[in-house]
Amino acid sequence: MAQMIYLDGQLVERDQAKISVYDHGLLYGDGVFEGIRAYNGRVFRLDEHIRRLERSARALMLDIGMTHEELCEATIETCRANDVRDGYIRLVVTRGVGDLGLDPRKCPKPSVIIIAANIQLYPEELYETGLRLITCSTRRNSPASLDPGIKSLNYLNNILAKIECIQADVPEGIMLTNAGMVSECTGDNIFVVTGGRLVTPPVEAGILDGITRAAVIELAEQENILCVEKLFPVAEVYTADEVFLTGTAAELVPVVGVDGRVIGNGKPGPMTKRLLNRFRELTRSEGTPIHV
């Protein structure tokens, strides 16, 4: 069965799903996106993802031209057309086709793309062995230049940091704010565990307001684990008992080393495992049903 892609109101075969070379999403990275997961035939936190997409679009004065309900429905419809049960969904809205100048007013109609695929993202082994990270020298975009809270198609800041990770042969890296405090990773948020409490940088630090991050904060509250949102230097990561990353693709992934230093005892810690288990229970027990 050919994969079906949602493109501007229609489901088309993957080979037919094409975008103009004049699309400002391509020419300028002018657009927004979301990465969403489906678990066991249900889309996890669809409402929150669509709301974040709408917030990002509003920040760019990009009118998606679809209501919240229409976006949710189109996402579910695309999952259904591809018989998705456990999968990853990519929703992209670009400024649309314009001329070669920057002016977004020359782009009368946004392009809306939804890709839904049944894929296994990370090997289970990763959750047992944990990741090693580096601190990247590329600083996270200053919110005064391009707010990292906007999930835009302009991911070059993250890609430059990712290239540093690749050169260092690690899968992820910590990005610092302009002031030198920990912000987040290239595609994940970060938590440290010290003395039984969780610490994570605040959204105001200039990070993406992660949906997984928010779910972990909720779970911590339910479990009576104190979670503090505050700025901290990378030195606090080095001395933490545990470190883990959160993201739609990663879920909660343990970190066992940073910049050549060992975190905790070099193995995924009990708090990380406990919260990962709780998160997995959550993702399998709620969500918008795909197949009715």
Residues in touch with ligand PMP (CB under 6 A): 35, 158, 184, 187-189, 208, 210-213, 246-248
DSSP string, 183-213: EEESSSEEEEEETTEEEE--GGGT----HHH
Measured at the CA of 187, the angle between CA 181 and CA 23, to 5 degrees, comes to 120
Min dist CB 188 to ligand PMP, Å, is 5
Q: How far is the C-alpha of 292 from the C-alpha of 95, rounded, in Å?
A: 33
Q: Which residues pair with 246 in a beta bridge?
A: 189, 252
Looking at residue 111, its amino acid is S
If the CB atoms of residues 30 and 188 are measured against ligand PMP, the closer one turns out to be: 188
Specify whether 267 is catalytic.
Answer: no
- Closest approach, Cβ 174 to ligand PMP, in A, equals 12
Residue closer to ligand PMP by CB (options 76, 205) is: 205
Which CB sits closer to ligand PMP, 95 or 151?
Answer: 151
Q: Give the nearest distance from C-beta 151 to ligand PMP in angstroms.
A: 7
Q: Which residue is catalytic, options 18, 151, 230, 273? A: 151
H-run or E-run covering 182: strand 182-185
Q: Is 59 exposed, middle or buried (0-12, 13-18, 19+ CB in 10 A)?
A: middle
Q: Which is nearer to ligand PMP, 159 or 228 (CB)?
A: 159
Cβ 236 to ligand PMP shortest distance, Å: 19
Least distance to ligand PMP, CB of residue 162, Å: 10
Question: How many residues does this entry show for the chain?
Answer: 292
**Residue 272 CB coordination number (10 Å):** 25
- Which residues touch 106 (CB under 8 Å, ≥6 apart)? 98, 99
Nearest to 93 by CA among 133, 55, 144: 55
User: Whose Cβ is closer to ligand PMP: residue 54's or residue 184's?
Assistant: 184
Pick the closest to residue 66 from 28, 105, 109, 11 (CA basis): 109
Residues designated as active site: 151
